[in-house]
Structure 1
């Protein structure tokens, strides 16, 4: 299946941002990778600010869709949490890339104000999704020691994103897995604690 030029540019730009940071690639890099003239990129994305906004919009929609799939596929809070951890783990590409949100935050000074707003909206959406997971895990007793789902959600998102940075710095998956181990141990643990 042949991708349209705009999608190809978004794909290449997202991979570059996730691997090298938003400041780590130029329109010349994109033009070479996609096989078009640099001036042609400006037709689709007049500025890098426009490109970053489009990348963030698409990433937000994709992650929201993935979270909905997790909600409908898994019945327990613990299974949903494990699936979310796996989603973030897969995004690391064995320590070679970050999730786009983390990659963009690390280049915050280079981003326009509307993209900063989009990043905040993304974090709000993810926090709500994770909060719902912890609420379910508290109700079905599949996640141990949950008392405040909202606080758990903020801590879990910080842990996921921080573990991304640590794994990317090491260029291997092990730091992510080690950071997630305590969170994963809590899954299915509430019922076991009662036995």
Structure 2
């Protein structure tokens, strides 16, 4: 097996673990069993747990940002765009009641190494910028009121996912998002 393939397997297994159990639930020993190597071998690819989690969050954000750009380019109206956005969070819950990777890590902020905290902040900022682009297309830098609304939408969607995760109840997420739409918060 090539180094890149094993690296990818380690990263994917780590991502799924962190989305389910958080940063503190990730151990190199358990991860090694999952991917079928010795735990010392993981250190060949990632010298520290922080380096591994930083790499998976960076890849997660980069992939997600590309997906969001595709959504924005493909959709015809902002209601459809925002529905696809909120569906991603719901779909994550449907995948074993997992949380958004960065959202799960944000809850453990004080236990994270600085490089992981930086990526978690980047995740939030990227989402807020993207939502602002949806709310005010073609405006370049969105006005302050749009940026505040984008922050509120991101916090609301993330919070709805976190509560639904805690309840192990995807229907709760769906109901809350519907209420946000009815109230006008989310287009």
TM-score (structure 2 length as normaliser): 0.88
1:101-128, Cα deviation, whole Å (9 max, x unpaired): 1111112122111211111112111100
Which of residues 164, 169, 180 is equivalent to 2:161?
164
Q: Where do 1:2-21 residues align within 5 Å?
A: 4-21=5-22
- Give 1:144's aligned residue: none
Q: Where do 1:84-99 residues align within 5 Å?
A: 84-93=85-94, 96-99=97-100
How many residues matched? 178
- Give 2:180's aligned residue: 183
| CA apart distance, 1:187 | 9.2
Cα distance between partner residues in 1 of 2:22 and 2:164: 15
1:12-39, Cα deviation, whole Å (9 max, x unpaired): 0000000111111210110000000001
Contact kept, 8 Å, 2:153 with 2:185, in 1: the verdict is no
| CA apart distance, 1:75 | 1.7
Contact kept, 8 Å, 1:95 with 1:168, in 2: the verdict is no
1:151 is aligned to 2:148: yes
Contact kept, 8 Å, 2:93 with 2:161, in 1: the verdict is yes
RMSD: 2.1
1:40-74, Cα deviation, whole Å (9 max, x unpaired): 00000111010111011101101101101111110
- Give 2:24's aligned residue: 23
SS for the counterpart of 2:136 is helix
Cα distance between partner residues in 1 of 2:96 and 2:172: 9
Judged with a 3 Å threshold, the aligned counterparts in structure 2 of structure 1 residues 115 and 87 are, in CA distance, closer, same or farther, namely: same
Of the two, which has the highest radius of gyration? Answer: 1
1:52-99, Cα deviation, whole Å (9 max, x unpaired): 110111011011011011111102111111110111111112661000
SS for the counterpart of 2:173 is helix
- Give 2:125's aligned residue: 124
Runs of 4+ in 1 over 6 A off after TM superposition: none
Cα distance between partner residues in 2 of 1:93 and 1:182: 20
1:121-154, Cα deviation, whole Å (9 max, x unpaired): 1211110000111114xxxxxxxxxx93212110
